[in-house]
Amino acid sequence: MRIPLKWLSEYVDITLPAGELAHRLTLAGLESLVETSGHNWDKVSVAHVVEVNPHPNADRLRLATVDLGEGERMTVVCGAPNVAAGQKVAFARQGAKLIDGHSGQPMELMPAVIRGVESAGMVCSERELGLSDQHEGILVLSEDAPIGMLLAQYMGDVILETEVTANRGDLLSVLGTAREVAALTNNEVHEPLDTYWEDGTAVSELASVAIVDSDLCFRYCASLIEGIKVGPSPQWLQEKLSASGSRPINNVVDVTNYVMLELGQPLHAFDLNLVGDRKIVVRRAHSDEKLVTLDSVERSLNADMLVIADSSKAMALAGIIGGAPTQVTQKTSSILIESATFNPVNIRRTSSSLGLRTEASIRFEKGLSQELAMVAVKRATKLLLGLTGGRAAKGIIDVYPNKARVHRIMVSRERLQRVLGVDLPPTKVRQTLTALGYGCRWVSSAHYVVRVPYWRTDVSIPDDIAEELGRIIGYDQLPSTSLTGPIPSIQPQPDRELRGMVQDALVAAGLQEVINYSLVDMEKLSKVVDPEELSWRPPVRVANPMSKNQDQLRPTLRVSLLDSLATNRRYGRETMAIFEAGRVYLAQEGDLPHEVEMVAGLVSGRRLDRWGQPHGEPLSFEDTKGYVEHVLARLGLQETYEAAEEYALVPGRTAVVSVASERIGVLGQLHPEVTGAWDIGQEVYLFEISLEALLPHIGGVRLYRPILRFPSVIEDIAVVVSEDTPAGKVKAAIESFPLVRTATLFDIYTGQPIPPGKKSLAYSVSYQADDHTLTDGEVERERNRIIERLRKELSAELRQ
Amino acid sequence: MSTGELQTLEAQANDSLAAIADETSLEDWRVNYLGRRSRLTEILRGLSALPLEERKQVGAAANRLREALETALAERRDMLRKRDVQTFIQQGRIDVTLPGRPIPMGRLHPVTQTQRDIVACFEKMGFQAVEGPEVEWDYYNFEALRIPEHHPARDMWDTMWIDYHRDGRMPMLLRTHTSPNQVRVMERQQPPIRVVVPGKCYRYEATDATHEWMLTQVEGLAVDEGISMADLKGTLYEFAQQLFGQERRVRFRCDYFPFVEPGADMSIDCFVCNGEGCSTCKGAGWIEIMGAGMVHPEILANVGYDPERYTGFAFGMGVERVAMLRHDIEDIRLFYQNDLRFLEQF
């Protein structure tokens, strides 16, 4: 809310510079900024020129002695020709931020010695204050300017821009803000006047009010004025409204807006002569009822909305906006001022369903005090009588079905200490609460009874009182301690740990982590996921996405990674090894989606050469598989790879990865049609591991195996097999023999003299026994058995 | 046999030794002059056949010669080795400014790095990291946190809803904050509780330099007997100093979140200008880091805790914001564009 400091000062003395005031309010929960028209007058105040004497060393300079209030005087050097004793001037102290009169640049005022005379302040020109370009002489203020008052406050164009939290509807008013200021600065609040002469007819003879739906309207107050004259508001009112960001319309509407800004209670004025049968009915709208609102929009209402109607038609959308037919115009002579309390939930529901948020609705939805309705209607009536003339009807209509009771809270001293961590002395508690308008009584030896002021609808429990005390005393004044209780026992989080290990392993292997949005485009999804799967289990969709191509919760990381790869290719990067560890979301009927932890990566481009340039061999399936092997080896797992077919991957270049015969992931080359869809004209390899599938296979700590004492015998075995025999099978067959420790492939050869359709595989085989040194005979017998089995099972021939 | 022959032998041996320039020839020389079949060994072996006088004379001379030759051999060998080392040093010079053999360098995303650092700070204080679902029920995201439908505080969290309807409402959403986990954790555990919950959150919010519709938060919760606002302050102060440096000052101010009472937010003094006011802190001198407060007693009661016995505090912060402050990143959108020129800086 925009609060002019000058207006605020009508209700509370402002004894702090604006910046400091905003700071204190901010700390206490009302975020505030000082807005000035481009200048900061924190250290500039009104001063009285007591005397002017010649400068001892300069003809064109003079010495001005000024009275700064509270007995403080200062003599400064002044070059202005118009300075004279008796004037009220704007005086800047050391540290004031001004505009340099000559250069026009911002500067900070520092003490200076001018022609041998010390000068620790300045009498300012308009230009120095940033008010205009006028720099011929000093700014002379009017004679009644109060000495010592901050110039910002006096000149009246300093605005406090406040950000009110959702619980504090009472702070959407100048008076509410003044109450905070008063409590924070130990000053009194001056409540505005609300007394006036009632010399008209009794209200009951002029109009009636009936609340039909008392669940939506808690109180309805109305005053009536006859014989008014509608016209423009006086200058002071227009200026205040404009400064607060409200557009002046006419004196009646302006007063209702003024009182809303002043007290926080939205009001509405009806042209009494246009109210059918002079009867106000507060009821739910009929279905299909229509109302042209003040903004000239015809609105279709429904039975969830509350209207203010007369005997036949809706006249206003309760608590949100008035209607055009009964609005106050130049012709209006009698008015009914409505000041009511509506159900905040209903107001918010109606205003959001119509997409119509008004100054009134944002106040009502926060929950206004029912007491305030009466206070505000009186205040408005008083102001109106002064501006529009006319006679106020005797009495005020007040339909108040369920009178709100004064709220009292029993607060124990011990609870305050338990919450705030400090035992506040009762005098401090009472003083602080009283300053905020609370009643505070000390009963028994350990409890307070706190009476909540009517305007504070947000306070209901002892901890609310703790907050009130804490924020006014200052959170910074509370002690600061370390947690002392027992540290809770640790619950294992294996999924988190696994993700961390996999991330670290991939980073150690040289991959860059990326993180992408969780929402993706359906069209892109259908390129990388089998459309049948998508139709069998559609992704989870967001009803109101930020953009149309980000509306599906990703069931795969593939789209995200391809996006990242494509983005970087556009920046000229052709070699990349990237991964993402994140969740995918699988729809479940009637329940939250199943969120599966996945890790996937893309590898594309060329290996680094000796110079670190990506000009080496092309990155291939082997490199990608290397990463998968590296990660799984780090985790202490033994996996198997099997040729497979997978949507979006090239057949014959795809492998399913399994641990203990369970599929945990896949790797392979992305199909050229897929990469083509992302405009990627190079080979791209994908690996994809489900951490959820991997998790059950993660063992505990690895057990030590003794280092074998007996020497191993290493021999090479080369076999010729059919070209489509997987090398992994040959290795597995060799390693199945009891004396074989490992069989490591070290060469693959095709071509002469190997017959066409065959290949030669060479393994380095290590033989070793646990309990003795192998003899040549043992090794030979084992070798012969190996060759025999390879021949039988894989039609392998020993290469000669 | 005479000493004359020994003299000739000595002269021969010395001459040929002086010509030797490598270890192999040196070994040949040793075999030739000092080996088992050398003339000198032969002489020494034949001594016993000589008359006593001559045996004494020749024996002494031959032994002297043997010692002399062995010494000469050792010196020559030493000289040759030193010369080899010199040659190696002279010829083996390399350009030490050439680049090393490249090892590809992987990095964690800066959000992962910062999230881990934040979590680590709290782990040192006995907090444990747990996680929760990103797709949530309205109940956990709002209602259980005292933010019923049509509560004005819902404005603080513009929401993306899942296209799933039940009883005329959409009860499922993308969580707008990690706070639902306060309730989830308390539902499955009994006090004492100290947890942090990192994770992605989502807002229906237009993006600009300081706003993203996807963000990462770290939530914190501590519940036990005797926990007060003072413990909240102390814990968060310790965190700020660990993460941002010992010289940082922190500030707590009152703020409103429906699920805490009293409510607060914490700022640190701007480390760019040290609180003087600059563009990083928008002139305020302080930078808001997180929202916090004492867990509202109704929330404790709703999960079955006795709010008279237990109190607790909760806090939540944006990881991207912390990362931006630490690394002086001016645009939050950089995080999820995944431009490697950005990611490779961390």
Convert A86-142 into a string of H (helix), E (strand) and C (coil).
Answer: CCEEEEEECCCEEECCCCCCEEECCCEEECCEEECEEECECCCCCCCCCCCCECEEC
Indicate the pLDDT class of residue A669, thresholds 50, 70 and 90: very high
Residue A73: pLDDT above 70? yes
CA–CA separation, A460 and A366 (whole Å): 15
Candidates A25, A363, A368, A542: best to mutate against B (most CBs of B within 10 A) is A542
Candidates A475, A501, A541: best to mutate against B (most CBs of B within 10 A) is A475
| B161 catalytically annotated | no
CB contacts of B200 in chain A (<8 Å) are: 518, 583
Please report the pLDDT score of residue A172 as a whole number. Answer: 97
Nearest CA in chain A to B310: A418
- Give tens-digit pLDDT for B101-127: 999 899 999 999 999 999 999 999 999
- Give tens-digit pLDDT for B134-165: 999 999 999 999 999 888 888 888 999 999 99
Q: What angle do CA A201, A207, A212 make, to 5 degrees?
A: 150
Q: Which of the residues B115, B119, B157, B322 is marked catalytic? A: B157
On whether any CB of chain B is under 8 Å from the CB of A443, the answer is: no
Which amino acid does the sequence have at A406? V
CA–CA separation, B238 and B245 (whole Å): 10
Residue A714: pLDDT above 90? yes
Residue of B134, B206, B238 with shortest CB distance to A583: B134
Distance from B136 to chain A by nearest Cα, in Å? 7
Distance from A504 to chain B by nearest Cα, in Å? 8
Cα separations in angstroms, A91 against A49, A109, A116, A747: 10, 11, 21, 92
Residue A49: pLDDT above 50? yes
Nearest CA in chain B to A366: B152
β A639-643/A649-659 pair status = antiparallel
Indicate the pLDDT class of residue A475, thresholds 50, 70 and 90: very high
| B230 catalytically annotated | no
Regarding whether B80 and B213 lie in a shared domain, the answer is: no
| B295 catalytically annotated | no
- Give tens-digit pLDDT for B277-319: 777 777 778 888 899 999 999 999 999 999 999 999 999 999 9
| B260 catalytically annotated | yes
Regarding whether B58 and B28 lie in a shared domain, the answer is: yes
CA–CA separation, A176 and A184 (whole Å): 13
Regarding whether B114 and B44 lie in a shared domain, the answer is: no
- Residue B12 inside a domain? The answer is yes
Contact B131 A481 (CB under 8 A): no
Please report the pLDDT score of residue B1 as a whole number. Answer: 54
User: What average pLDDT does the structure give for chain A?
Assistant: 92
Residue A282: pLDDT above 60? yes
Give the CATH number for residue B164. 3.30.930.10
Residue A38: pLDDT above 50? no
Q: Which of B90, B119, B154 is the last residue of a domain?
A: B90
Please report the pLDDT score of residue A134 as a whole number. Answer: 67
On whether any CB of chain B is under 8 Å from the CB of A489, the answer is: no
Cβ neighbours for A281, distance < 8 A, ≥ 6 positions apart: A209, A210, A212, A308, A309, A310, A311
| B60 catalytically annotated | no
Regarding whether B158 and B238 lie in a shared domain, the answer is: yes
CA–CA separation, A643 and A667 (whole Å): 10
On whether any CB of chain B is under 8 Å from the CB of A665, the answer is: no
Cβ neighbours for A213, distance < 8 A, ≥ 6 positions apart: A282, A283, A284, A306
Please report the pLDDT score of residue B2 as a whole number. Answer: 66
How confident is the model over A441-446, as a mean pLDDT? 87
β A512-513/A576-588 pair status = parallel
CB contacts of B193 in chain A (<8 Å) are: 488
Select the more confidently predicted residue: A323 or A43: A323
DSSP run (H or E) holding B201: strand B193-202
**Phi and psi (nearest 5°) for B200?**
-80, 145
Instruction: Find the farthest-apart pair of alpha carbons in chain B and give their distance in angstroms, rounded.
Output: 132
CA–CA separation, A648 and A158 (whole Å): 64
Regarding whether B262 and B131 lie in a shared domain, the answer is: yes
- Give tens-digit pLDDT for B217-233: 999 999 999 999 999 99
Regarding whether B123 and B57 lie in a shared domain, the answer is: no
Contact B261 A542 (CB under 8 A): no
**Which range of residues forms the domain containing residue B17?**
3-90
Contact A516 B335 (CB under 8 A): no
| B203 catalytically annotated | yes
- Residue B97 inside a domain? The answer is no
Chain B contacts in chain A segment 402-431 (CB below 8 A)? 417-422
Residue A490: pLDDT above 90? no
Residue of B233, B258, B340 with shortest CB distance to A576: B340
- Residue B51 inside a domain? The answer is yes
Q: Which of B56, B90, B124 is the last residue of a domain?
A: B90
- Residue B100 inside a domain? The answer is no
Cis preceding-peptide flag for B192 (omega within 30 of 0): yes
- Residue B96 inside a domain? The answer is no
Number of domains composing chain B: 2
Instruction: Calculate the CA A705 to chain-centre distance.
Output: 55
- Give tens-digit pLDDT for A355-397: 999 999 999 999 999 999 999 999 999 999 999 999 999 999 9
Identify the CA nearest to A651 among candidates A673, A631, A629, A627.
A673
- Residue B101 inside a domain? The answer is no
- Give tens-digit pLDDT for B51-62: 888 888 888 888
Identify the CA nearest to B26 among candidates B89, B72, B85.
B72
How confident is the model over A9-30, as a mean pLDDT? 93
CA–CA separation, B195 and B289 (whole Å): 19
Contact A510 B126 (CB under 8 A): no
Indicate the pLDDT class of residue B259, thresholds 50, 70 and 90: very high
Distance from A495 to chain B by nearest Cα, in Å? 9
- Residue B241 inside a domain? The answer is yes
Regarding whether B151 and B275 lie in a shared domain, the answer is: yes
Regarding whether B122 and B186 lie in a shared domain, the answer is: yes
- Give tens-digit pLDDT for A574-628: 999 999 999 999 999 999 999 999 999 999 999 999 998 999 999 999 999 999 9
Instruction: Calculate the CA B61 to chain-centre distance.
Output: 73
User: pTM for the full model?
Assistant: 0.84
- Residue B105 inside a domain? The answer is no
The CA radius of gyration of chain A, in Å to the nearest whole number, is 42
CB contacts of A365 in chain B (<8 Å) are: 150, 152
CA–CA separation, A269 and A256 (whole Å): 7
Cβ neighbours for A727, distance < 8 A, ≥ 6 positions apart: A745, A748, A761
CB contacts of A540 in chain B (<8 Å) are: 135, 162-164
Which amino acid does the sequence have at A230? V
Q: Which of the residues B30, B203, B296, B321 is marked catalytic? A: B203
**Phi and psi (nearest 5°) for A93?**
-90, 170
Q: What is the DSSP string of A248-289?
A: ---HHHHHHHHHHHHHS---EEEEGGGSGGGEEEEEEPPTT-
- How does A292-321 read in b/e, with b if 16+ C-beta sit within 10 Å? ebbeeeebebeeebbbbbbeebbbbbbbbb
User: What average pLDDT does the structure give for chain B?
Assistant: 92
Chain B contacts in chain A segment 525-554 (CB below 8 A)? 540-546, 553
Regarding whether B165 and B247 lie in a shared domain, the answer is: yes
- What single DSSP character describes residue A735? H
CB contacts of B104 in chain A (<8 Å) are: 509-510, 577, 608
B260 token code pair: 């805490």
Contact B102 A612 (CB under 8 A): yes
CA–CA separation, B122 and A631 (whole Å): 28
β A512-513/A639-643 pair status = unpaired
Contact B297 A592 (CB under 8 A): no
On whether any CB of chain B is under 8 Å from the CB of A574, the answer is: no
Regarding whether B174 and B264 lie in a shared domain, the answer is: yes
How confident is the model over B175-187, as a mean pLDDT? 96
User: Could you give the ipTM of this predicted complex?
Assistant: 0.87
Cα separations in angstroms, A373 against A218, A257, A436: 10, 14, 20
Regarding whether B128 and B248 lie in a shared domain, the answer is: yes
Please report the pLDDT score of residue A81 as a whole number. Answer: 84
**Phi and psi (nearest 5°) for B191?**
-60, 155
CB contacts of A345 in chain B (<8 Å) are: 149-151
Regarding whether B190 and B42 lie in a shared domain, the answer is: no
Chain B contacts in chain A segment 155-194 (CB below 8 A)? 165-168
Distance from A348 to chain B by nearest Cα, in Å? 6
Contact A592 B105 (CB under 8 A): no
Can you tell me which residue has the tokens 């000289």? Answer: B79
Can you tell me which residue has the tokens 């799984």? Answer: A632
CB contacts of B255 in chain A (<8 Å) are: 29, 165
CB contacts of B228 in chain A (<8 Å) are: 417-421, 481
Q: Which of the residues B66, B76, B177, B321 is marked catalytic? A: B177
